[in-house]
Structures are given as C-alpha cells and as structure tokens.
C-alpha cells in the first residue's frame, strides 16, 4: 500500500523567506503527483501537477520537483507571503486513479 | 480549470437521521467521482469510487450500507450518510475526474462539513 509522508508537519517562517516542503512516498509506480493547498475548513486548491515522466513544474513563486526513483517531491515557495499560510498537501496517484494523500504541512508566514 | 460544486457546504443533524450530500461537475462530464473524508487535523482518506451507472467501489473499512453512493448522471454523484452518529461528523470532499489534454486530472469540490449532534 502506498504511504505518503510530509515533513515537516508544521512550519512557521517570517515573511519574505524562501521555504521547502517535503513529500515522500513508498511506491514509485505512480501516475502523477499533485500539490494542493487547503485553507481552514475549505476544500482543496490544486497548485501544481507533475506527471510521472516530468522532473518539475513551476507556477509563479512555486516550484515542485519530482524524483520518482527515490520517492520524493519538494515544493519550493519563494518570497513567502502571509497569504501563503495554509496547509499544503501532496498526493500521489497510481495508474488505477486512486489518490493517496500525505499528512500535510501546516505553514504559517509571519508578517 | 474544471469546477466541482458540493451542496450543502455545511449541515448539522440529529443522531439517527440521514443526510444527503451532492457533488456536481459544472462544466464537464465525469464518469468517475470520488468521495473522501477528512477528520480534524488529518489528511484526506478515500472512502469510495463512484462510477456513473454502476455500483460504487468502497475502500476497506467503509460501510457501504451506511454511506450510500449514487452516480445517476455524468454530472452528479450523491453521498447519503444513513442513520448518522456523532462519530460520522467530518469534512466530506468529493472529486470528479476529467479527461482533458490527453491526461486525466481530478478536480475537488469545496467540501461539506457534517456535524451530528
């Protein structure tokens, strides 16, 4: 069974700092990996989707990388802002379309 | 991107009653939808996969008689929590699968907060 772990569980940084969130998964047979943002009591907002054949994806201040062989992905956030405060979830999708979600990283950006 | 809606966004009910949650794909047709449950400070757990016109596939440990899923059309799936109890209180999120640009992608609804008194 696929297990997805995110480290750290919580992170607090001052505004303007660059930061990295980590995601690891146990089964490298994935279809793709997706990073989501979840605000308190809200649903999921998709941030970046990386196909299994890709190494990274970028969107604005966000960059996600994927190393399928080692079972790792990172989400890099540049020049963090208070509005970035949220829980960040990574999810891996197997060929059978089932999503396995990570445990999440709760990010707080201090003004 | 594609939009998925859920209704209601929150519901409070008495123990023993049944609650229906709707999930709609607004601008695409979804042959497959998924239902997730999220307990406080925990991640999303897949409950079941809903396929249009056929029975849902439930994950291990999820009671199919308690969580009734109906996917009667290509844009609507419903989850009915029967005889709800306080331990069913949770955040329920659905997602719908769209095939666009040569790849499948899942889009998530905003979630439904269920509180059972």
Give per-residue pLDDT as tens, B44-74.
999 999 888 888 999 999 999 999 999 989 9
CA R_g for chain A: 13
Residue B16: closest CA among B86, B83, B88, B87: B83
Q: pLDDT tens, B16-28?
A: 999 999 999 998 8
**CA B6 – CA B52 distance, rounded (Å):** 17
> Is pLDDT of B100 > 80?
no
**B110 to A42: CB separation less than 8 angstroms, yes or no:** yes
Instruction: Output the pLDDT for position B107.
Output: 87
End-to-end Cα separation, chain B, in angstroms: 37
Instruction: Output the pLDDT for position B2.
Output: 80
Of A41, A42, A99, the CB nearest to B106: A99
Instruction: Output the pLDDT for position B16.
Output: 97
Measured between beta carbons, the chain A residues lying within 8 angstroms of B37 are none
Instruction: Output the pLDDT for position B99.
Output: 77
Does A99 contact chain B (CB < 8 Å)? yes
Does B7 contact chain A (CB < 8 Å)? no
Selected residues 41-80 of chain A with any CB under 8 Å from a CB in chain B: 41-44, 46, 49, 51
Of A43, A98, A104, the CB nearest to B109: A43
The stretches in chain A having pLDDT less than 50 are none
Q: Please give the full DSSP string across B44-55, using - where no structure is assigned.
A: EEEEEEEETTS-
Residue A50 falls in which region: left (phi positive, over 0), alpha (psi -120 to 50) or beta: beta
């Amino acid at each position: 069974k696929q297990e997805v772990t995110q480290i750290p569980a919580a992170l607090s940084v001052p505004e303007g700092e660059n930061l990295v969130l980590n995601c690891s998964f146990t089964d490298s047979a994935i279809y793709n990996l997706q990073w989501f943002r979840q605000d308190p009591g809200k649903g999921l907002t998709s941030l970046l989707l990386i196909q299994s054949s890709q190494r990274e994806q970028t969107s604005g201040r966000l960059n996600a990388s994927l190393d399928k062989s080692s079972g790792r992905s990172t989400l890099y956030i540049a020049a963090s802002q208070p509005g970035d405060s949220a829980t960040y979830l990574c999810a891996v999708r197997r060929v059978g379309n089932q999503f396995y979600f990570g445990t999440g990283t709760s990010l707080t950006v201090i003004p | 991107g594609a939009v998925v809606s859920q209704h209601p966004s929150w519901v409070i009910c008495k123990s023993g009653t049944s609650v229906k949650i709707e999930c709609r794909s607004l601008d695409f047709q979804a042959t497959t939808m998924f239902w997730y449950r999220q307990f406080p400070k925990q991640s999303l757990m897949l409950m079941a996969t809903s396929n249009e016109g056929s029975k849902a596939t439930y994950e291990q440990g999820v009671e199919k008689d308690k969580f009734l899923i109906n996917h009667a059309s290509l844009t609507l799936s419903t989850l009915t929590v029967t005889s709800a109890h306080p331990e069913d209180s949770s955040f329920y999120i659905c997602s719908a699968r769209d095939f666009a640009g040569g790849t499948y992608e899942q889009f998530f609804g905003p979630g439904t907060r269920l509180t059972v008194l």
